[in-house]
């Protein structure tokens, strides 16, 4: 915090009002004017370091104060177990560390059990004339080194009107030496504008992996913002020159859209993430592959085994440099410890039963890739256990109460309470059989019953797509459902609803999303759907066609398996808000009679061309998507 006037170190008392009219936010740059102190603050960053530039007024004791005890999700104003160290070196440098104890806050207000230490090395462009530390409410002027639980550091200096003072900081999750090295290599001088320009170029390069033409200005802003969100995490937290380690893996959310997108445009991130998750399991920090990873800690968040579909999808997309043989034993152990019981379900939970059935299918795919045919047969059989939750007496999916097979009482398909569902109700969760949609159609009574129920599910959804009992886009269990219509022979409904969700659930204002972005998942759904295709079952190699928003979209397909990079382009004639429906389609100049593509077709590069119109063409796509439920081939 830049400050002047009387020393106020309590972070609540020291805060300053500001106006959004004096605030700027861009990729790689942020600035704000603090009314209380009459200081302009500008921030930009490099991958392992950052720099802040303050423009001060005239003052004999302008000040930079750093609260080292600030925690996200902090439970109490004063900490007891967390530790900070700080040391002043000369009159411009401070260094130290912050160790965060989960009992006092952090991820999930400490419930995630996340412990980590971050080391910092900071250099100020202006020498401190007076400096010191504070610990809680006690100030130690002149003290240059301290360790405690509620530490802060302050440095003061005279400034003239409009004087610019910069603070640059290197960070490391490994060591102080790593923090020094990261800063020295990334921000060696004081060229704030140069660092900002480099950050802008990095983001420009990152966003260039998908180029779009057409659409409205608003749609292009939504798309660019979504693509930006998709490439923030999983983030690299290793030091420069070290093997990449990635964290912030929101597995239960991101296996559905975020990682399928990354398999196309950033296969390197997919490989690095899988390796990182396996490595942290090998290290003994956890006994199963992560569901939601922050620094390898068991964050105890969400359900299922989401790294398994990420692995299966990576393999299907030709990303195979992450070591399946080495990862396999950990996948097996994870499935054993976190999976459906031998009775054929997870007692009390419909959501877990269906999720584990899907990840058993993913295990079958991985076993097949390794030539383990008997293991694959076993996993594929377990993948059919979703049928154990179909209650013919209510005509819907329902949680089994215990291992005896009794149903949970008081069934209500639209209730989110006491139904054994995760961030969903049985009405929403029952559609989650991505690996065997034909089997689900049979359970629901055939194509007509399935299609009519699915159509009703969407027609009862509010147009703003906020939280509701029907299609609930703010949360992930529904994210594949709009793409199920081709399986019952009605692909035009997918074309309509994909467009309507894009228009109603996304915007370009501050509250531009209908729900939590969940580390890029919500945004990745938009990117894929707006381009023109989205998977139902990651790992299947099947992508369902949507109704493209843009007249042209080109994806740069990343290098994998020794194959060179290529591009895949979707061209949509007559792409307007009114023209929701595909009238005709071709792939690389040849007519396309199906509402789906394969991974091989996309990865090979080429062009999908569609013509859009205002009315459905019910005779165009006559072929159903392939049944991937029990495939057991290389």
For 50-102, write each residue's pLDDT tens digit. Answer: 999 999 999 999 999 999 998 888 898 889 989 999 999 999 999 999 999 89
Is pLDDT larger for residue 596 or for residue 628? 596
Supply φ then ψ for residue 164, to 5 degrees: -100, 130
Give the mean pLDDT of 491-504: 98
- The CATH number fitting domain 208-613, selected from 3.30.70.60, 3.40.50.1000, 1.10.1240.10, 3.30.2080.10: 3.30.2080.10
In sequence order, what DSSP letters do the residues of 77-118 get, joined into one string?
SS-SS-EEEEEEETTTEEEEEEEE-GGG-SGGGGTT---EEE
Average pLDDT of the chain is 96
- What length is written for the chain? 634
Beta bridge partners of 606: 568
**pLDDT number for residue 286:** 87
Q: What's the pTM?
A: 0.96
Confidence band (pLDDT; 50, 70, 90) for 367? very high
Question: What is the tens place of the pLDDT at every residue in 161-193?
Answer: 999 999 999 999 999 999 999 999 999 999 999
pLDDT of 613 > 80? The answer is: yes
CA dist 47 and 236 (Å) reads 8
CA dist 73 and 36 (Å) reads 26
Local structure of residue 458 (DSSP, 8 states): H
pLDDT above 90 coverage of the chain, percent = 90
Number of Cβ within a 10 Å radius of residue 550: 23
**pLDDT number for residue 634:** 39
Taking the domain 2-205, which CATH number applies? 2.70.98.10
3-state secondary structure of 596: strand
Paired tokens of 255: 């296996």
Domain ranges in the chain are: 2-205, 208-613
Using alpha carbons, select from 570, 567, 542 the residue that is nearest to residue 555: 567
Confidence band (pLDDT; 50, 70, 90) for 561? confident
Confidence band (pLDDT; 50, 70, 90) for 108? confident
Question: What is the tens place of the pLDDT at every residue in 264-292?
Answer: 999 999 999 999 999 999 998 888 999 99
Paired tokens of 591: 């007519």
Give the mean pLDDT of 24-49: 97
Q: Are 32 and 22 in contact (CB under 8 A)?
A: yes
């Amino acid at each position: 915090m830049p400050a002047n006037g009387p020393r106020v170190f309590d972070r609540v008392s020291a805060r300053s009002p500001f106006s959004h009219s004096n605030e700027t936010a861009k990729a790689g740059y942020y600035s704000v004017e603090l009314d209380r102190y009459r200081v302009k603050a500008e921030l930009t960053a490099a991958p392992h370091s950052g720099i802040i530039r303050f423009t001060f007024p005239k003052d004999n004791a302008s000040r930079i104060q750093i609260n080292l005890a600030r925690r996200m999700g902090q439970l109490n104003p004063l900490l007891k177990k967390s530790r900070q160290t700080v040391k002043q070196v000369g009159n411009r440098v401070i260094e130290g560390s912050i160790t965060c104890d989960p009992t006092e806050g952090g991820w999930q207000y400490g419930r995630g059990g996340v412990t980590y230490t971050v080391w910092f090395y900071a250099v100020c462009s202006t020498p401190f004339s007076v400096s010191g530390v504070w610990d809680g409410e006690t100030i130690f002027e002149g003290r240059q080194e301290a360790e405690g639980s509620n530490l802060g550091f302050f440095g003061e200096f005279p400034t003239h009107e409009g004087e610019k003072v910069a603070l640059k900081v290197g960070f490391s999750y490994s060591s102080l030496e790593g923090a020094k090295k990261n800063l020295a290599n990334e921000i060696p001088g004081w060229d704030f504008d140069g660092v900002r320009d480099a950050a802008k170029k990095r983001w420009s390069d990152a966003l260039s992996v998908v180029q779009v033409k057409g659409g409205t200005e608003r749609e292009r802003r939504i798309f660019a913002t979504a693509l930006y969100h998709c490439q923030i995490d999983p983030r690299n937290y290793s030091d420069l020159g070290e093997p990449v380690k990635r964290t912030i893996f929101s597995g239960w959310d991101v296996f559905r859209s975020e990682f399928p997108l990354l398999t196309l445009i950033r296969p390197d991130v997919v490989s690095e993430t899988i390796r990182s998750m396996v490595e942290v399991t090998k290290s003994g920090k956890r006994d199963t592959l992560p569901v939601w990873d922050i620094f390898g800690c068991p964050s105890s968040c969400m359900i299922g085994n989401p790294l398994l579909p990420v692995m299966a999808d990576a393999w299907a997309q030709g990303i195979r440099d992450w070591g399946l043989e080495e990862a396999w034993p950990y996948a097996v152990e994870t499935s054993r410890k976190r999976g459906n019981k031998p009775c054929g379900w997870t007692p009390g939970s419909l959501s877990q039963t269906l999720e584990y059935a899907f990840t058993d299918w993913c295990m079958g795919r991985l076993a097949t890739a390794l030539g383990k045919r008997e293991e694959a047969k076993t996993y594929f059989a377990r993948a059919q256990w979703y049928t154990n939750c179909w209650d013919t007496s209510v005509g819907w999916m329902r949680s089994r109460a215990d291992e005896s097979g009794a149903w949970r009482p008081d069934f209500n398909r639209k209730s989110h309470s006491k139904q054994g569902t995760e961030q969903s109700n049985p009405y929403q969760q029952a559609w989650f059989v991505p690996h065997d949609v034909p089997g689900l159609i049979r359970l629901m009574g055939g194509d007509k019953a399935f299609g009519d129920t699915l159509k009703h599910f969407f027609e009862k959804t509010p147009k703003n797509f906020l939280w509701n009992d029907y299609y609930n886009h703010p949360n992930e269990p529904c994210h594949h459902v709009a793409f199920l219509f081709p399986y019952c022979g009605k692909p035009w409904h997918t074309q309509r609803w994909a467009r309507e969700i894009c228009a109603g659930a996304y915007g370009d204002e501050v509250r531009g999303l209908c729900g939590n972005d969940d580390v890029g998942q919500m945004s990745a759904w938009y990117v894929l759907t707006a381009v023109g295709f989205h998977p139902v079952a990651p790992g299947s190699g099947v992508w369902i066609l949507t109704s493209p928003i843009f007249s042209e979209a080109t994806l740069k397909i990343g290098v994998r398996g020794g194959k060179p990079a290529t591009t895949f382009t979707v061209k949509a004639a007559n792409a307007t808000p009114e023209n929701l429906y595909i009238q005709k389609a071709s792939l690389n100049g040849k007519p396309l009679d199906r509402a789906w593509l394969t991974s091989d077709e996309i990865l090979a590069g080429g062009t999908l061309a569609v013509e859009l119109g205002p009315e459905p063409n019910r005779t165009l796509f006559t072929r159903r998507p392939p049944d991937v439920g029990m495939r057991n081939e290389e």
